[in-house]
Structure 1
Amino acid sequence: MEIIVSNKSNRPLYEQIAIQIKTAIMNGELKEGDAIPSVRSLAKSLHISVLTVQKAYATLQDDGFIETTAGKGCYVSVQSQDFYLEEQQKKIEDFFLKAVEIAHINDISFEKLVDLLALLYKEDE
């Protein structure tokens, strides 16, 4: 896993790190139980402060993506996949709410809405 940070980004460095690690976990590049670089080694490789990496890791731990074991390092949390799936379901719910609202406004029946969803879902298979 390669992490790239930029001083020209609008996001703070710690957020850039946290987002890249979250993305690697969400897309399966990092799996539950996988070790992630130590705070010191990542700070050294990125030429940034240990405190910045520590803040990124604290954010990831607070969000449930990683676990830290004293003396052993940081690992992808076993629960991170469940957390990720829950997050994705919430995004889908938001889209469904918008679709239902549009259907109601335009008098589109529930059956037509379900048929459309089924058609779109099966189209990708």
Structure 2
Amino acid sequence: MQLLINTSSMTPIYEQIADQIKQLIKSGDLKENDPLPSVRALAKDYKISALTVKKAYDVLDDEGFIHTVHGKGSYVAAISLNVVLEEQQKVLEDELEEWISKAQRLGFSKTDLVTMFHLLMEEKYDKSK
């Protein structure tokens, strides 16, 4: 399993790890019951704190992407399509919230935003036909 850790990123390292493992699971590169590297091994390989890796694994466990068996390790959990769709919806909602906040800072009204959204949607969907 190859991960890209950017120590100069504003995104915390544990989030980078969790996000990349989620993507590997969603893409099918990691399958149900595949073992993940141990916390210590991953920390050593990437020269990061074991606590950082543990936090990433805890996030993945809490979100249902992996399950941990104490003394045996962490494994990819059986995830349903609903979990994947919820995760994708959350990402999109976060991006929309950023977009709305930026538009508010720039002085756009709710009506302006709705109009802009509809125009962009029409343009995008007309191109795909």
The reply to whether TM is greater than 0.5 is yes
Q: For residue 66 of structure 1, what is the aligned residue in structure 2?
A: 66
Q: CA deviation at 1:69?
A: 0.3
| Superposition TM-score, scaled by structure 1 size | 0.68
Larger radius of gyration: 1
**Distance (Å, rounded) in 1 between the aligned partners of 2:66 and 2:45:** 20
Shift of 1:79: 2.7
Partners of 1:65 and 1:80 within 8 A in 2: no
In the alignment, the residues of structure 1 paired with residue 39 and residue 80 of structure 2 have an alpha-carbon distance, to the nearest angstrom, of 20
Give 2:29's aligned residue. 29
Deviating beyond 4 angstroms after TM superposition, the runs of 4 or more aligned structure 1 residues are none
Pairs within 5 Å for 1:2-21: 2-21=2-21
Cα distance change, pair 37–81 in 1 and its aligned pair in 2 (3 A):
farther
Q: Superposed, which structure 2 residues align to 1:101-112 within 5 Å?
A: 102=118
State how far apart, in whole Å, the 1-side matches of 2:47 and 2:15 are: 16
* 1:33-54 deviations in Å (ceiling 9; x for gaps): 1111110000000001100000
Counterpart in 2 of 1:43?
A: 43
CA contact 1:26–1:81 (8 Å) conserved in 2 = no
Distance 2:33 2:81 in 1: 11
Supply the AA of the counterpart residue of 2:70. Answer: A
Asked if 2 retains the 8 angstrom alpha-carbon contact of 1:32 and 1:78, the reply is yes
Match of 1:106 in 2: none
Mapped to 1, the partners of 2:60 and 2:79 lie a distance apart of 12
What is the aligned-residue identity percentage? 51
Written as runs of structure 1 = structure 2, the 5 A alignment for 1:52-91 is 52-79=52-79, 81-88=81-88, 90=89
Q: Out of 50-59 and 72-81, give the one that drifted further.
A: 72-81
Structure 2: where are the runs of 5+ without partners? 94-113, 119-124
* 1:87–1:50 distance in 2 versus 1, CA, 3 Å: closer
Rounded Cα–Cα distance in structure 1 between residues aligned with 2:72 and 2:78: 16
